[in-house]
Structure 1
Amino acid sequence: MTFALRAMGAATSLGAVVQAAAAARAGIVRASELAQSTCLDEVTHERVALVGHTAGPLTEGFEGIGRLVQLAIATLVDLEASAHGTWWGQLEVFLCLPRSLGQGTNPPRDSTDVAQLLASRLQAEARFIPAPASLHLFQEERGGTIHALEKAMALLSERRCDQALVLGCDSLVSPERIEAQLDARRLKTPDHPVGYMPGEGAVALLLERRDPARERAAPPVAYLFMPTAAQEPRSLDAKAPPTGHALEEVLATALARAAATSVPEGSLYLDLNGEEFRAREWGQTLLRARDICRVGDWQPVIPAMSFGEVGTVSPLVSVCLAARAFARGYGRGRHALILVSGDDGHRAGLLLERGPLLQRPLTVIAGGVQ
């Protein structure tokens, strides 16, 4: 069963959805020094600034929950612009947040309490979004984002709502988050090149059931299949290198669900971010999957190269990039597969199918692109 992606919104280091996808396609990167976050260079024994992907003026001067509110409101404004005139029926909202929301606060606060405060701030400030029938909170990093999509699609299929708004927010560049990442030696530093650059962002997706009559008037951006999931017992949290078994399972299941195991063309969105264990797992997955599908021929895309590591929001950023690639005509084939690897061993595959609205192919003409 597939669901219609009606509209998208985002706030990233490269801007809103349309601008961010175009900038990433062009190879533009806006990484910068994090003035408030430094590390010790073991060669020079001097403090040097860390490098990350911030949302610039949008979050400058904000900390903690204030930073996430800024990202979320800008994302909902972007969503509302593309969803103009499409709000109808009963709406359910699914809010995806990091599990460490209370980390670094003084005094320390319960993560769930902070999440509830953030949700109430969003409901108070986003008056342009219809009041939801209910709001669901997920705080399980990448896995929570996938669970939110699963829950949203389940409620849509059961006709318990007409539309589902999935919103993810995360900021790994916040000073209160940086220290823990440094202690775990996960960040890219002068003496640790196999780490990631922290990023931040928010993404919102508006989902509906497939409705032929409604789609004739306003075709959706793309179609989403129900996510496939598996559990990898050997993971970062388990302090054991993953083997690729679970990732191979979700890859094969997702492609089989769309009858795409023998399809030679498609786009593959990977959440590789510079960490060695992720690259090793993907290499092992490719070796295991070569006998069951032709995914090695698909076009790989690594969003972290453009946005840094965005944690909870990572799967949704990939959805936006894949949908915009379809809309602009440079997405390969009819499908895009997003692979998700959580630190807790949760593995998932999210498949998108090109929407029914065929875009006019780009034509190079004198003086530019038409």
Structure 2
Amino acid sequence: MTTYTDIATVNVVVIGGGYAGTGAANRLLARPGVKVTLVNPRPQFVERIRLHQYVAGTRNATLDYGTLLGDRVTLLVDRATRIDADARKVHLASGRTLGYDYLIYAVGSTAAIPAAVPGSAEFAYPIGEWEHAQRLRAAIDRAPADASVTVVGGGSTGIETAAELADQGRKVTLVCGAQLAPTFSAPARRSVARWFGKHAVEVLEQERVAEVGPDSVVLTDGTVLPSAVTIWTCGFGVPELAAASGLRTDEAGRLLTDEALVSVDDDRIVAAGDSAAPSGRALRMSCQAAAPLGLHAADTVLALVAGVAPVNQNIGFVGAGVSLGRKAATVQFTRRDDTNKNMYLRGRWGVPIKELASKGAVMGIRNEARKPGSAYTTKGPGHRPAAIAGESDRIARP
């Protein structure tokens, strides 16, 4: 019988050190002969789900990779600029190239500001990445305590950012664009609206931003809102690395794969997280999906190495939550296929569940570092809906 230890060393490159990529790198260590190189543009792990707290000054949002990665994972601080699938090489911004036997594509997602809104690129602050959050925090710190802050976007990121700042005493207006918390059930949406009402946050539903200035926001009906700091949270895109490398993507730029997460163009490339589109139908952009997809991507690579057909991903969901400052949260429970149940928690009752989910993402990565293959993932229903509710609100289309 052939065992892993009988097989020659396999070189795996993981591009992206977020929830998906870091978990995948650790999971790969289940095979003794594997050599893992994790390529990430930053020397620290960014807890993206904590960025709204960092902006408001209530918590840090970075962790030392030394506390997260297994001993046999090599961290390379660099940025991938092109994948040469034919030569099995990754070209880096530093000028180096990395050869690989298998590659895990886990570049994640980023904030996207539409160029069609005048002034948005110049004067609005995104919050999707660490560097964005650093610039935004500096702007918040510079603004007078009584200055008006406008948050654009009524999804989870906008809600949490607006709530965190309001909880710190900031005067906040939330421009939803359409509906507040559009992916939540009606009762859960009302619970979020009640919290905002109690904390003097002006919520504008069915209102859109037509122009952003250095100290104001103009709505499509001509209303001018004073805004010392304008925060843009409605829209995520993905890096263009896959498309720039000649690999097929969906219309948002996510790598097209089969249900086992193998690229439709190359069986040595496996994708995970926000940048993957299994069968052209991406899962909800979230830590809840990214982390288990990273683990499954690693399992797929290990199966391919062993000459075994990889199994299809079957990721299940349990809910979605938003923190409302430090003392409240709303948690919407879902079925495993990510459709809403008629059940939610609100107020202080939602806080421990929301915090457990946030801490659990990091705990899962650390558990994989200590014991590869140990992390538990929720199984899906065995099928996926044709479309994810609210997907158009989360993805910025070209």
Say which structure, 1 or 2, has more relative contact order (CA 8 Å, 6+ apart): 1
Which TM-score applies when normalising by structure 2? Answer: 0.28
Q: Hey, which of these two has a bigger chunk of helix by percent?
A: 1
